[in-house]
């Protein structure tokens, strides 16, 4: 009697739970048998074949039923793979559940077509990886294949964490004080410290510059690759010393998890095999990875709500054959101690990325937060779009090609010890559109050496007076339209221009109103280039310093009296009819003399179609 009641009770629960999926249509299944577990079950879609409750239950598998160890003591690779293999035996979609717990794995986990590896939450279900992981593996999770029936789905991974074991820092202290400008520090203990290690003063804000390396170890004396700045290092100051990213070793090279060692370059947390499409990764945390999610030759990705810390690349996408959707990425040093400054600096060496994007048929990114790490657009990139992207604490955007667009976001770099040449937006090629960004940066906001950067709208504040706000050089082109510079009126006198053009760089500026207070150079053009163009700007008390010919689209804003010097003019011909140039002092050109007064008098030169006339 008890067994019958229990069976009826279980059947009632199962029957109620399944009402969300479809409709119970008969007390008799196709084989004619009766009973609660034999109830006919019709899929919600029209024309679907009836399915039994029992067959529906078989769509939900638990890795623990296959012997996975949620305590993290034993290797669960074989058990989890057995559950995943069972989920791939037919074309019906399967959920392979990884219940809450810690699962230690030494071999890749294969997630195939039509199945989803589903945890109980990214702080609850944790896959743990250490240096004993299979050295030849392509990744910890291998996503392969695509949906193979109209009712099935492509592979997916949801609601879990992948955690990599990485070396901890060596924490020591300064035995004696080292003044600013010193190239050496003396530590209390040199144990586990080696040439190439990163050194950061954890007791003060930026006393040692970013990514300072040990160049020589002599007992307790450490010679540094860069001089100390700020106040130097006081006796007793706490120091973090960690192995540098450049010294990272792979599993096959025998990387070791010992204090002060370099990061371990594990295989990617998720590796997507070539040809896999429409795969999904959702609500996943990746901690301490070398590479996070890697796909080359796949496509149609849906990546959302990801927390990730990676020494090399958080997300790498290239040769994508279908449209990719990436949303809600938080790139930070998850899983690390809040005071682990050495690791932060180690990731800010210019080669750690939250996203590396190459060729894709289409790619949309939104709600992307970068802390210390950078986004890199590769030279073979297409036309990706980014909406709502933040670059925090010196994080950078590096564009080598393609035509990416970025709408809404900000650049910040409050760190006082950034390298002097640090640029947060670097354009080495391609055509980049930045719209509506805020620039609250101690570093130079943008550097264009090649390609074109178009900056539209936005606001700038808290700039460093000794650094240009934006600069263009070499063969780059910088277009700036309508950026709000009102905050510059509260600055002390600037020693660097706000905008700087050098080499063969071209600057085109339109509709910018400089503040009515403040002091300094608004635009400095160091090399003659007739393509430089300023129009509809209001410079007020700010100076334009041009060593070359400068095209003025509208002279009504007082620009003529602010040209420091113009050394030559282009040939005046019918193509240049109506061009107006501001001329400081008398100018003798190979195309004719233009004289206006003398000494420091200013002239405006107008091309009438054949000769220049002064006004």
- The span from the CA of 410 to the CA of 434, in Å, is 10
- The span from the CA of 528 to the CA of 151, in Å, is 65
Sign of the CA dihedral running 116, 119, 123, 129: negative
Strand order in the sheet with 50-52: 22-26, 40-43, 50-52
The domain 170-250 is placed in CATH, from the list 3.30.70, 2.40.30, 3.55.50, 3.30.1490, at 2.40.30
pLDDT band at 146 (very low <50, low <70, confident <90, very high): confident
Interval 56-82 mean pLDDT: 91
The bridge status of strand 280-296 relative to strand 302-318 is: parallel
Sign of the CA dihedral running 294, 295, 296, 301: negative
Mapping DSSP to helix (H, G, I), strand (E, B) and coil, where does residue 212 land? strand
For 31-52, b where at least 16 C-beta lie within 10 A, e where not — what string? Answer: eeeeebbbbbbbbeeeeeebbb
Annotate 378-432 with DSSP letters as a single string: -TT----EEEEEEEETT--EEE-SS--EEEEEEEEE--TT--TT-EEEEESSSEE
pLDDT band at 598 (very low <50, low <70, confident <90, very high): very low
**More confident site: 501 or 487:** 501
Interval 386-406 mean pLDDT: 94
- The span from the CA of 106 to the CA of 99, in Å, is 19
Sign of the CA dihedral running 598, 599, 601, 606: positive
Take residue 431 and report the two structure tokens written for it: 């055509």
Element (H, E) at 249: strand 249-250
Question: Cα 72 from chain centroid?
Answer: 32
- The span from the CA of 588 to the CA of 582, in Å, is 14
Residue 577 pLDDT > 70:
no
Annotate 255-267 with DSSP letters as a single string: ----TTPPPEEPP
Take residue 207 and report the two structure tokens written for it: 């006393």
**More confident site: 201 or 284:** 284
The pLDDT of residue 231 is 76
- The span from the CA of 2 to the CA of 4, in Å, is 5
Residue 164: which residues within 8 A CB-CB, separation 6 or more?
Answer: 129, 130, 264, 266, 269, 287, 288, 289, 290
Interval 69-75 mean pLDDT: 98
Least confident span in 80-84, 104-108, 527-531: 527-531
pLDDT band at 400 (very low <50, low <70, confident <90, very high): very high
Element (H, E) at 6: helix 2-17
Least confident span in 327-336, 376-385, 405-414, 536-545: 536-545
Comparing CA positions, the residue from 117, 75, 72, 76 lying closest to residue 97 is 117
**More confident site: 407 or 46:** 407
- The span from the CA of 487 to the CA of 613, in Å, is 39
Kindly report, residue by residue over 223-256, the tens digit of the pLDDT: 999 888 777 899 999 998 888 888 999 999 999 8
Comparing CA positions, the residue from 411, 314, 327 lying closest to residue 365 is 327
pLDDT band at 521 (very low <50, low <70, confident <90, very high): confident
Kindly report, residue by residue over 427-482, the tens digit of the pLDDT: 999 999 999 999 997 789 999 999 999 999 999 988 888 899 999 999 999 999 99
Take residue 182 and report the two structure tokens written for it: 């010193």
């Amino acid at each position: 009697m008890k067994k019958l009641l229990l069976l009826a009770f279980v059947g009632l629960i199962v029957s109620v739970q399944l009402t969300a999926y479809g409709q119970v249509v008969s007390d008799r299944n196709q084989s004619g048998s009766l009973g609660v577990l034999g109830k006919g079950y019709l899929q919600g879609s029209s024309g679907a074949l009836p399915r039994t409750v029992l067959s529906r239950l078989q769509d939900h598998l638990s890795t623990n039923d296959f012997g996975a160890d949620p305590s993290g003591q034993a290797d669960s690779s074989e058990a989890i793979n057995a559950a995943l293999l069972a989920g791939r035996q037919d074309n019906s979609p399967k959920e392979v559940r990884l219940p809450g717990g810690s699962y230690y794995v030494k071999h890749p986990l294969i997630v195939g077509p039509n199945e989803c590896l589903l945890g109980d939450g990214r702080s609850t279900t944790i896959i743990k990886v250490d240096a004993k992981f299979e050295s030849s593996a392509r990744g910890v999770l291998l996503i392969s294949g695509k949906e193979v029936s109209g009712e099935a789905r492509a592979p997916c991974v949801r609601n879990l964490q992948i955690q990599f074991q990485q070396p901890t820092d060596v924490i020591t202290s300064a035995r004696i004080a080292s003044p600013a400008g010193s190239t050496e520090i003396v530590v209390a203990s040199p144990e586990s410290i080696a040439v190439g290690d990163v050194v950061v003063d954890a007791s003060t804000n930026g006393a040692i510059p970013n990514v300072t390396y040990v160049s020589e170890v002599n007992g307790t004396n450490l010679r540094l690759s860069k001089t100390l700045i700020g106040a130097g290092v006081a006796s007793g100051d706490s120091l973090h010393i960690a192995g540098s990213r450049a010294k990272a070793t792979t599993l096959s090279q025998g990387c070791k998890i010992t204090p002060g060692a370099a990061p371990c370059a594990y295989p990617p947390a998720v590796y997507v095999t070539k040809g896999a499409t429409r795969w999904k990764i959702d609500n996943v945390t990746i901690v301490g990875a070398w590479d996070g999610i890697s796909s080359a030759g796949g496509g149609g990705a849906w990546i959302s709500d990801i927390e990730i810390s990676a020494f090399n690349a958080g997300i790498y996408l290239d040769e994508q054959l279908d449209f990719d959707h990436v949303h809600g990425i938080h790139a930070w040093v998850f899983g690390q101690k809040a005071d682990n400054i050495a690791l932060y600096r180690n990731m800010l060496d210019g080669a750690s990325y939250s996203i590396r994007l190459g060729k894709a048929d289409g790619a949309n990114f939104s709600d992307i937060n970068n802390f210390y790490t950078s986004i890199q657009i590769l030279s073979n990139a297409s036309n990706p779009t980014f909406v709502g992207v933040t670059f925090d604490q010196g994080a950078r955007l590096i564009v080598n090609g393609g035509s990416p667009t970025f709408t809404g976001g900000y650049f910040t770099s409050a760190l006082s010890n950034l390298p002097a040449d640090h640029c947060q937006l670097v354009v080495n090629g391609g055509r980049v559109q930045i719209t509506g960004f805020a620039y609250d940066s101690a570093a130079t906001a943008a550097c264009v050496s090649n390609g074109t950067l178009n900056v539209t709208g936005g606001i700038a504040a808290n700039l460093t007076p000794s650094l240009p706000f934006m600069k263009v050089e070499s063969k780059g082109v910088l277009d700036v339209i309508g950026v709000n510079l009102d905050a510059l009126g509260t600055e002390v006198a600037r020693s660097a221009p706000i905008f700087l053009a050098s080499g063969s760089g071209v600057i085109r500026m339109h509709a910018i109103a400089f503040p009515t207070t403040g002091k300094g150079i608004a635009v400095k053009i160091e090399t003659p280039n007739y393509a430089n163009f300023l129009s509809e700007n209001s410079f007020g008390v700010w100076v334009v310093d041009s060593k070359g010919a400068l095209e003025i689209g509208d002279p009504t804003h007082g620009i003529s009296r602010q040209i420091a010097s113009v050394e030559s003019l282009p040939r005046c011909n019918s193509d240049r009819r109506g061009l107006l140039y501001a001329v400081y002092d008398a100018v003798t050109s190979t195309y004719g003399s233009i004289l206006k007064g003398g000494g420091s008098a200013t002239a405006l030169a107008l091309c009438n179609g054949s000769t220049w006339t002064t006004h």
